Structure 1
Amino acid sequence: MSERGGRPHLAVKREVLVRYLDAWTPVALRSHRGATYVEAGGGSFAGDAFRVFGEFADRLEGHRLDMVMAGASGPAVLGEAPAGLAVRSVADAEDLAVAGPVLLHLDVVEDGAFGESDVWRLVDSLGRGKSREVLLTLPVREPVTEYRERLRAVGLGCAVTVELVAEGGGAQLLVFATGDSKHLAIFKNELWAADEFAGIRYRDPRDAERALVDISLTPQLLPLRRALLAELARRRSCTVAELQQYALLETIYRPADAVGALTSAASAGAVTREPSKGRLTPRTVVGHLEG
């Protein structure tokens, strides 16, 4: 990507979007009501999305996918759309009549035409209903609890908030929310599969230590271990499966990462476990050690 040297945030955001669209599109096309992708993040993102949809031209036949560009001047720059893909622009996406799966992408950092008030207005109008999802980029704010509460209020209770931090320290907040925990897991897989050489590291905005983590399929797990031990101290004991679910819904990590973090904690004698030997499984019960 040409942005890699000078605009690393944009490079990572584009790659994460493309990766998730690759996973979202074939699932969305199964809906008999059609699916809608709303782009409100600028021209470069629209071009990326259009190219992804073009790769599914064979599956688009006999289905309907609407690509709506909010606030855009027109779709002509994107080229000829394959059969089944309808591309249009609207001045205001709030009044869109949509059915079936919807993915809203809105980046207020790259596109100055939209502000944070526009984000929540569109989330409120397009995020309610089954199979609705949003991918947002916002300025870093503290705390992020309010964002998650707003998303939960419209039915998007499965969310991840992750700061994209450049080498110079500049940060942007990436937010993904859905009502489906399986889709959250898919998004996180794509998040960690992004190009690790783009000059961006991740940071969990709810990590008290503010640790920076390199993008990797096998990320550094110390921040997750701290979070899991704190949660275990609150619960006293629980299964590995319960802590995997906690990792999915409350951290930037994946359920599989929780097994790695808990395995190292058990090896170090930081937690109890039952059974006491063997590999950790979802049914393994781990307990808090009194300090």
Structure 2
Amino acid sequence: MPTDAVAHELFLRHLDSWVPAALRRARRATVVLGYDGGDPRLAEETLRLAGEHATRLRGGRLTVLVLADGTEELPARLGTAEAGLPADVAVHLMPGDASRLPVALRAAGAAGAPVLSYLEVDGPVNLAALTAAAATGRPAEALVVAGAGTPLRPALADAGFPLTTDVELVDVDRRIGFGTGSDRSLEAIKESVWAAGLRCRDPQGLPLSPGPEVDPQPLGRALLDELTRHGPRTVTELRRFAVTGTAYRAVDAARALAALLDAGAVTRSPEHGRLGGDVLVTPARST
């Protein structure tokens, strides 16, 4: 799968569930596409999904901002797609890159309602753009795509997103970053990354091939290191660490914790029962 197609598919899959939830919550929402515009299909598919959901959820107002230079083909194809949209969907095409996002969000009146941003980064991350996205949306989410060597999680955290993660995609030399305030959205993005079937980096920097069941040992070592550094943690906290701080999913954390318990590397309180979110896990050597 081409590099851009991987990121576009992840975004569109998330958008498909985000739009109805956002419109039910606030009755208005904004979607931002900040990319080079070289592939008009991303914008076309975004408008198609926006139109489908707006038709089913009447009374909601959805604004789509497209920040792209692109070519002459992009405005023409967007114009064709826009012609078939319901009146509740507004489309604004602005030339330029992500640096114009703060102005675009203000012009669209996006403040105080849900905002979902998709931004492709070529070079250093534009912190002002990310900060605008995080501060404007209530709630806000952002999916950012950059080169494999560009750290995205610190930038998303500095911008104000409460929950952040990034994953290096080994096969396409890209890094995907995601910022949100929702554990559910965070886990959904990670599941989508795994569903794409592309190799990631495990906590030791080795290629990790997604599959129904993976070797729990690398994640187990990372969880044990986390417990050693910070002391006892609940299962919920360790699941969140796996999703935010590694390429793994929440379900993988449960398997890794079970393996650590079986090996006697950690203890749990209470000792018996389901390994629920409030169970406290402690490194065995600290007891």
**The two structures share one fold, judged by TM-score above 0.5:** yes
Q: Which one-letter code corresponds to 1:14 in the other structure?
A: H
SS at match of 1:264: helix
- Residue by residue over 1:92-139, the C-alpha shift from the partner in whole angstroms, topping out at 9 and shown as x without a partner, is 43312223111111123xxxxxx4457333213232143111111111
- Residue by residue over 1:195-223, the C-alpha shift from the partner in whole angstroms, topping out at 9 and shown as x without a partner, is 32xxx21125xx2x212222335444333
Q: Which one-letter code corresponds to 2:87 in the other structure?
A: A
Contact 2:166 2:244 survives alignment (8 Å): no
Alignment equivalent of 1:122, drawn from 114, 118, 129? 129
Question: What are the ranges of 5 or more consecutive residues in structure 2 without an aligned counterpart?
Answer: none
Q: Which has the higher helix share?
A: 2
SS at match of 1:138: strand
How far the C-alpha of 1:151 sits from its partner, in A, is 2.2
How far the C-alpha of 1:172 sits from its partner, in A, is 0.5
- Residue by residue over 1:124-161, the C-alpha shift from the partner in whole angstroms, topping out at 9 and shown as x without a partner, is 3232143111111111226x3xx433322332121110
2:141 corresponding residue in structure 1: 133
How far the C-alpha of 1:284 sits from its partner, in A, is 3.0
Contact 1:60 1:84 survives alignment (8 Å): no
Contact 2:219 2:242 survives alignment (8 Å): yes
Contact 2:127 2:159 survives alignment (8 Å): no
In the alignment, structure 1 residue 17 sits paired with structure 2 residue 20 = no
Distance 1:226 1:65 in 2: 45
SS at match of 2:142: strand
Question: What are the ranges of 5 or more consecutive residues in structure 1 without an aligned counterpart?
Answer: 109-114
In the alignment of these two chains, the number of paired residues is 266
In the alignment, structure 1 residue 104 sits paired with structure 2 residue 98 = no
Distance 2:219 2:255 in 1: 10
Contact 1:158 1:177 survives alignment (8 Å): yes
Change (3 A) 1:132 1:236: closer
Alignment equivalent of 1:251, drawn from 217, 221, 246? 246
- Residue by residue over 1:43-100, the C-alpha shift from the partner in whole angstroms, topping out at 9 and shown as x without a partner, is 2321232232233243342111111111355221435223321122012433122231
Contact 1:155 1:179 survives alignment (8 Å): no
Alignment equivalent of 1:81, drawn from 77, 85, 104? 85
In the alignment, structure 1 residue 56 sits paired with structure 2 residue 57 = no
Distance 1:126 1:284 in 2: 35
Q: CA RMSD in A?
A: 2.5
Q: Which one-letter code corresponds to 1:256 in the other structure?
A: V
- Residue by residue over 1:20-60, the C-alpha shift from the partner in whole angstroms, topping out at 9 and shown as x without a partner, is 11121111112446111111123232123223223324334
Q: What TM-score does the superposition give when structure 1 sets the normalisation length?
A: 0.80
SS at match of 1:20: helix
Percent of paired sites with the same residue: 33
Alignment equivalent of 1:202, drawn from 200, 203, 228? 200
2:221 corresponding residue in structure 1: 226
